[in-house]
């Protein structure tokens, strides 16, 4: 189908990236044009002005996640933050005589965690990748880690555990506070990838008691190419070795010229996420459930991947991100379905954007116990504050028509 003949695109891939909020762009613009000084240039007013903007943004971002400004290291995004947390912690462990230590993670982690751990394993560090609850487990266990299994896995030489707070494919939310209690009892550190959580659920690094946490601006209506690593400095102070050397920026933990417009945008996006997150979450939950109910009524055999949409923990907190839906469509080829829906003007994916060019099925869905065909025939939906009810209803119509057409071939 020629591009001119395609219907207007409906974007439902907000786990991959989100639209830049116009209010965030407005705050960034001065730092892209007139106020373009280098934050490292302390000898003139434009440089000092840029530095002041960075420090104000650091204070603001820290406040949105329950941290202090000196605990925030600005990076290019959650991938760099995760690498710095994992490899930087490993380097510190090596310098303290734990070169052949042990790290624990989950089979369902993002590749920003799995790939650096593969690297550490090749360097001699032991890595354990824990299974999660399978799809046929109770509705509140699918995709979640077993605390008993974690406790059994930890060793005297375990120096780090890394988990996603909220999974980027199936939306499952881990009980990080409970995980932290187990990890800290054994003397290890806890790194948590919070990229998908900001703006979609309450988030306080003290409440969940983490040591290191990764963030990306573009997952919550901020700019691409900027993020942050939270490094705990209060109480049990954490130290990480740098991966990038040069100018000594970010207290030596991450050298390189600071992206002043991006950092201002990150702080603005985080502030909006804090102030409007509860209202946004309520809207997205309603629209997400509307999408599921519409698809389930129109697509025979449709099945849910991940925890039940209404699953909650003992405190009544949702066990799934309110903007996430992941379904499998039996009886169709997954790649053909995605291509058909793209021609119909739907921006969707079958998994992480970082793995979209790989022919392999989603490692997250395989870890749930799905076979290759089921994983390939799955669709991931991510909603945002800009998603509308009209878009949801139109998407249901286009998906139902596409599936019906493919099944008839």
DSSP 252: G
- Residues making up the chain, counted from first to last: 409
DSSP 75: E
- Give catalytic status of residue 354 as yes or no: yes
3-state secondary structure at position 326? strand
Residue 211 CB contacts under 8 Å (≥ 6 apart), including other chains = 189, 190, 191, 231, 232, 236, 238
CA–chain centroid gap for 368, Å, is 19
d(CA 137, CA 170): 15
* Edge-to-edge order in the sheet of strand 72-75: 72-75, 227-231, 212-216, 189-193, 158-164, 102-106, 126-130
Residue 135 CB contacts under 8 Å (≥ 6 apart), including other chains = 142, 305, 306, 368, 369, 370
Tokens of 281: 């979450």
Of 354, 400, 401, 406, the active-site residue reads 354
Strand partners, 172: 320
Return the closest-CA partner of residue 240 out of 226, 228, 227, 254.
254
* Edge-to-edge order in the sheet of strand 378-382: 303-304, 324-328, 378-382
CA–chain centroid gap for 109, Å, is 10
d(CA 391, CA 322): 17
Tell me how far CA of residue 398 lies from CA of 251, 347, 390, 393, 406, in angstroms. Answer: 51, 12, 12, 9, 12
Q: State the helix-helix crossing angle for 389-408 and 260-298, rounded to 10 degrees.
A: 60
Residues forming the active site = 354
């Amino acid at each position: 189908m020629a591009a001119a003949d395609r219907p207007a695109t409906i974007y439902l891939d907000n786990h991959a990236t989100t639209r830049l909020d116009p209010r965030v762009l407005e705050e960034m613009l001065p730092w892209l044009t007139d106020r373009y000084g280098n934050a490292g240039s302390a000898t003139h007013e434009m440089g000092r002005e840029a530095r002041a903007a960075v420090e104000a943004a650091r204070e603001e971002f820290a406040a949105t996640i329950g941290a202090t400004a000196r605990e925030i290291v600005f990076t290019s995004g959650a991938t760099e933050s995760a690498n710095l947390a994992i490899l930087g912690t490993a380097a510190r462990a090596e310098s303290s005589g734990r070169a052949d230590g042990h790290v624990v993670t989950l089979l369902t982690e993002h590749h920003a965690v799995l790939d650096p751990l593969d690297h550490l394993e090749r360097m001699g560090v032991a890595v354990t990748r824990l299974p999660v609850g399978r799809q046929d487990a109770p509705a509140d266990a699918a995709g979640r880690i077993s605390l008993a299994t974690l406790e059994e896995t930890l060793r005297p030489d375990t120096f780090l555990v890394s988990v996603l707070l909220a999974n980027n494919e199936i939306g499952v939310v881990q009980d990080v506070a409970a995980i932290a209690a187990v990890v800290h009892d054994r003397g290890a550190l806890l790194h948590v990838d919070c990229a998908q959580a900001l703006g979609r659920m309450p988030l306080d690094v003290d409440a969940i008691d983490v040591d290191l946490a990764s963030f990306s601006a573009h997952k919550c209506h901020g700019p691409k190419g900027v993020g942050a690593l939270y490094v705990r400095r209060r109480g049990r102070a954490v130290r990480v070795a740098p991966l990038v050397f040069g100018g000594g920026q970010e207290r030596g933990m991450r050298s390189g010229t600071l992206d002043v417009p991006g950092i201002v945008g990150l702080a603005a996006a985080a502030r909006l996420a804090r102030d409007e997150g509860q209202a946004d979450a309520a809207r997205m939950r309603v629209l997400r459930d509307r999408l599921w109910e519409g698809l389930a009524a129109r697509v025979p055999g449709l099945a849910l991947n991940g925890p039940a949409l209404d699953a909650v923990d003992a405190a009544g907190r949702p066990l799934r991100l309110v903007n996430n839906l992941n379904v499998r469509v039996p009886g169709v080829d997954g790649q053909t379905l995605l291509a058909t829906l793209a021609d119909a003007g739907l921006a969707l994916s079958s998994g992480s954007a970082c793995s979209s060019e790989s022919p392999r099925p989603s490692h997250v869905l395989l870890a749930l116990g799905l076979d290759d065909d089921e994983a390939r025939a799955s669709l991931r939906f991510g909603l945002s504050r800009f998603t509308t009810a009209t878009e949801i209803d139109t998407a249901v119509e286009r998906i139902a028509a596409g599936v019906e057409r493919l099944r008839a071939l």
